[in-house]
Amino acid sequence: EAGVAQSPRYKIIEKRQSVAFWCNPISGHATLYWYQQILGQGPKLLIQFQNNGVVDDSQLPKDRFSAERLKGVDSTLKIQPAKLEDSAVYLCASTLTRTDTQYFGPGTRLTVL
Amino acid sequence: AQTVTQSQPEMSVQEAETVTLSCTYDTSESDYYLFWYKQPPSRQMILVIRQEAYKQQNATENRFSVNFQKAAKSFSLKISDSQLGDAAMYFCAYRRSMNRDDKIIFGKGTRLHILP
pLDDT attached to residue B116: 92
Given an 8 Å threshold on Cβ–Cβ distance, is A107 in contact with B101? no
Could you tell me the sign of the dihedral formed by the alpha carbons of B5, B7, B9, B13, in that order?
negative
Question: Which residues in chain A have their CB less than 8 angstroms from residue B47's CB?
Answer: 101-102
Looking at residue A35, its pLDDT comes to 97
Query: DSSP string spanning B33-78?
Result: EEEEEEE-TT---EEEEEEETT--SPPEETTEEEEEETTTTEEEEE
Q: Which residues of A touch B50 (CB under 8 A)?
A: 100
Using the beta-carbon criterion (under 8 Å), do B103 and A56 form an inter-chain contact? yes
**CB B104 to CB A102 under 8 A?**
yes
> In this predicted model, what pLDDT tens digit does every residue of B49-74 receive, in sequence order?
999 999 889 999 999 999 999 999 99
